[in-house]
């Protein structure tokens, strides 16, 4: 099978290229970049080792976007920024399945997208997109033309909550911690080592973060029509995400909620109850897993979930969706063992 990756020089695109180079069912890989067209892929990602034979069609260099031929690929990934992705994907639609890692096709309502990101370049395409949270949309993903991979915050927040439809009451309160790579590979003062080291900061608190509408859309679609207070925090590490969600239930205690979550993901290769009481980000670093713990907190119950924001929160989930869409084993080419 042949894969094409648009926007392959950011953290997400680089991780995606690495995963596809090692994927057992991908034989040819075409990396595409506007800013790095003509450059060797290894000059952008020196961490790549061994043969790049899967890139022989481009001699191991980045192809410019104007040289794209959808007929030369079986699946298209887009790791382009929001709005730029939709503009490129529009002309390609219908020629090959597209897996988009931006926010451009995550919203079912163009007005909701516009409130967060501005006017949509192709609102007529939204109805045909499937939200790419694999564990909840497998059947739709199998035949989708556009698969819209969720953001890392929605992935880590939604996975423990979605099995609890009808069992919660009151406001859902989420505190999320992410590594610096979640902000992307860009030059910004607040992302400098001296600014982030020995420093933790909250940002976009309450309902102001751009992922809140996306989370609410999926919660309400699953029957969880609750108010949401969501506060993200930037912490001094490269990769990883830990989300603590405070919920209340008069129907289920912590043990029953743990059982409900475990049962919901019994047949899912990457999501389940943590083997330790409280999961840590290193448990899932460089894996496609989401580990979940449930603990009692008096009148409230805490759901604690961890993912690797670049892996399950981005590139790994994209490959998982490709596996489902193309009929490969769902776990093909994806790591499940964490790090010490």
Walk me through the domains of the chain, giving residue ranges and CATH numbers. Answer: 2-150+312-326 (3.40.50.720), 153-308 (3.30.360.10)
Q: According to the model, what pLDDT value does residue 179 have?
A: 86
pLDDT at 16 over 80: yes
> What are the beta bridge partners of residue 336?
none
Q: Left (φ > 0), alpha (ψ -120 to 50) or beta: where does 216 sit? A: alpha
Residues 169/248, Cβ–Cβ less than 8 Å: yes
pLDDT at 244 over 80: yes
Per DSSP, which regions of the chain are E strands?
2-6, 28-32, 75-78, 98-100, 129-131, 146-148, 169-178, 201-202, 228-234, 241-248, 271-273, 290-297, 300-307
Q: According to the model, what pLDDT value does residue 295 have?
A: 97
Categorize the per-residue pLDDT at 197 as very low, low, confident or very high, splitting at 50, 70 and 90. Answer: low
pLDDT at 186 over 80: no
Q: Which of 149, 152, 156, 290 is catalytic?
A: 152
Catalytic (active site) residue 152: yes
* CA neighbor of 106 nearest in space, from 140, 70, 82: 82
3-class SS of residue 219: helix
Q: What is the dihedral of CA 172, 151, 18, 325, to 10 degrees?
A: 100
CA pair distance 212, 217, nearest whole angstrom: 9
Q: What is the pLDDT of residues 143-168, one digit of tens each?
A: 999 999 999 999 999 999 999 999 99
Q: According to the model, what pLDDT value does residue 85 have?
A: 87
Q: What is the mean pLDDT of the chain?
A: 92
- The alpha carbon dihedral of 278, 158, 324, 117 has a sign of negative
Q: According to the model, what pLDDT value does residue 182 have?
A: 56
Q: What is the pLDDT of residues 251-282, one digit of tens each?
A: 999 999 999 999 999 999 999 999 998 999 99
């Amino acid at each position: 099978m042949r894969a094409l990756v648009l926007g392959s020089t950011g953290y997400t695109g680089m991780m995606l290229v690495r995963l596809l180079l090692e994927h057992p069912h991908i034989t040819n890989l075409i990396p595409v970049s506007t800013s790095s067209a003509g450059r060797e892929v290894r000059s952008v990602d020196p961490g790549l080792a061994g043969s790049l034979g899967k890139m022989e069609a481009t001699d191991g260099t980045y192809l410019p976007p104007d040289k794209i031929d959808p007929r030369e690929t079986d699946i298209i990934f887009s790791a382009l920024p929001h709005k730029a992705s939709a503009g490129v994907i529009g002309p390609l639609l219908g020629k090959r399945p597209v897996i988009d890692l931006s926010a451009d096709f995550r919203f079912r309502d163009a007005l909701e997208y516009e409130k967060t990101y501005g006017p949509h370049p192709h609102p007529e395409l939204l109805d045909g997109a499937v939200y790419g949270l694999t564990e909840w949309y497998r059947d739709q993903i199998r035949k989708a033309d556009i698969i819209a991979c969720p953001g890392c915050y929605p992935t880590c927040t939604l996975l423990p909550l979605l099995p609890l439809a009808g069992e919660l009451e009151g406001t859902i309160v989420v505190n999320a911690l992410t590594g610096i790579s979640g902000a992307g590979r860009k030059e910004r003062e607040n992302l400098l080592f001296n600014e982030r080291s020995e420093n933790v900061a909250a940002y976009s608190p309450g309902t102001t973060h751009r992922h809140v509408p996306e989370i609410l859309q999926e919660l309400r679609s699953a029957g969880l029509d609750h108010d949401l207070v969501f506060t993200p925090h930037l912490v001094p590490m490269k990769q990883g995400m830990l989300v603590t969600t405070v919920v209340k239930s008069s129907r289920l205690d912590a043990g029953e909620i743990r059982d409900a979550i475990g049962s919901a993901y019994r047949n899912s290769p990457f999501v389940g109850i943590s083997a330790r009481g409280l999961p840590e980000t290193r448990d899932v670093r460089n894996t496609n897993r989401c580990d979940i713990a449930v603990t009692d907190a008096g009148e409230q119950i805490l759901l604690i979930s961890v993912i690797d924001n670049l892996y399950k929160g981005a590139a790994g989930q994209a490959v998982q969706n490709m596996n489902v869409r193309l009929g490969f084993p769902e776990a093909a080419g994806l790591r499940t063992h964490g790090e010490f």
